Structure 1
Amino acid sequence: MATALSADTQVGVIVTHHPAAAAVFRHRRVDFCCNGRQTLATACAALSLDPEALLTEVLEAEARAEGGPAPRDWTQAPLGDLCAHIIATHHSYLRVELPRLALFIGKIAGVHGDEHPELAEIGRTFAALTADLEGHMAKEEQILFPMITSMETAAELNLSLPESHCGSVRNPIGQMEHEHEVAGGALRRMSELSDGYTVPEGGCATYRETYQRLHHFEGDLFQHIHLENNILHPRAAEFEASL
């Protein structure tokens, strides 16, 4: 699964073939999901990081992960399996966690909002992101993912491609990636407002749990977008072109 690493490798490709890089990049604020096509050198230049030192961190993280269960190689799995995994793992998580997080954010804003006015903006940003994600998931499940699985099924059965009102699969992919950019901007804004989800002095246990949940939510959405932008979408477009 692993592939050679260099400063000229795209960060999304690095995470695809070296999954341990995801935690390292996230810690260093390297955007491997919405901007996964940038090279490591470009990403590091923007963040004043040394690409060679970062590659060393990735290899060290990979060494620590050895011996554990190997993640599935989504670059080789059937596209339908990847769509099903995204729904079962990431969409299901969002449908449970989004309303829970809204309650947690509202609670700490009500108690601590006077001392921490940034909580109100975090709440507004999260509410807008929630509405966007709900519509986004519906479009994926009702339009894009069925298009992809239909292409795969048609190829397996040697049938003609089913017609779609969307035309090429690249059209809904373009829209989904635009919406990913919007979601990524919301994540960056909430992280900035919360100083990387750092609980301020005097923050209660609920404050701490809220920020822990938001931090986990951010990581899950990073992985979710990575799977789509850097694996599912390019594979689907390439598959369509090969038919």
Structure 2
Amino acid sequence: MSRIVYTEDPSELTRYIETWYHSRHREQLSWLADLAAKVERVHAGHPEAPAGLCEALRRMIGEIEVHMKKEELILFPAIRNGGGADISEPIAVMRSDHEKHATDVEEIRRLTRGPSLPEGACRTWATLYEGIEEFIADLEEHLHLENDVLFPRFEAQQT
């Protein structure tokens, strides 16, 4: 179920992104990394175990945290102050980060085969993959709001 909120007010949109997506990603990734570690440990001998998933999620925790801090401390305050001539560089950096996040999601999909559970998977494994699907959907909504709704409003100021 999509929770995307469209608003004409960029300040309101940045606050929504922070309070909904940023806080969710912080919760989701830590929890998912812990679940992945458990599944990888318990099912280490299973040919379809998501070997390397915990490591990929932990790496993503650091990358996304740095990204969100840049938004919270630099880009979003600039947007709330109306943008201006200096906003194009931070937006370009965020778009580049978003491309990296999309690559990370593809790696997660590869490690989890979709995500697709093997026959007879335990409840923890199923919970992990359900959480992965939810995280990916949330991240894709987050990136869409920024890339396709928020950023173009300020990139248009530059032309």
Q: Percent identity between the aligned chains? A: 30
Q: Which residue of 1 aligns with 2:106?
A: 188
Q: Which residue of 1 aligns with 2:65?
A: 134
CA shift, 1:73, in A, is 3.0
CA distance in 2, matches of 1:117, 1:134: 29
CA shift, 1:117, in A, is 6.6
Count of residue pairs brought into register by the alignment: 159
Which protein has the larger Cα radius of gyration, Structure 1 or Structure 2? 1
Mapping of residues 1-243 of structure 1, within 5 Å? 72-74=5-7, 77-116=8-47, 119-151=50-82, 168-238=86-156, 240-241=157-158
- CA offsets per residue over residues 14-45 of structure 1, 9 Å max, x none? xxxxxx9x8xxxxxxxxxxxxxxxxxxxxxxx
Alignment-mate amino acid for residue 56 of structure 2: T
SS in 2 for 1:105: helix
CA shift, 1:128, in A, is 1.3
Question: In 2 relative to 1, CA 103–223 (structure 1 residues): closer, same or farther, beyond 3 Å?
Answer: same
Give me the CA root mean square deviation: 2.1
Unpaired stretches in structure 1, ≥5 consecutive residues: 1-19, 23-69, 153-160, 162-166
Question: In 2 relative to 1, CA 203–117 (structure 1 residues): closer, same or farther, beyond 3 Å?
Answer: closer
Q: Which fold has the larger relative contact order, with Cα–Cα distance below 8 Å and residues 6 or more apart in sequence?
A: 2
Q: So what's the TM-score if we normalise by structure 2? A: 0.91
Alignment-mate amino acid for residue 149 of structure 1: R
Question: In 2 relative to 1, CA 199–117 (structure 1 residues): closer, same or farther, beyond 3 Å?
Answer: closer
Answer 1 or 2: which has greater helix percent: 2
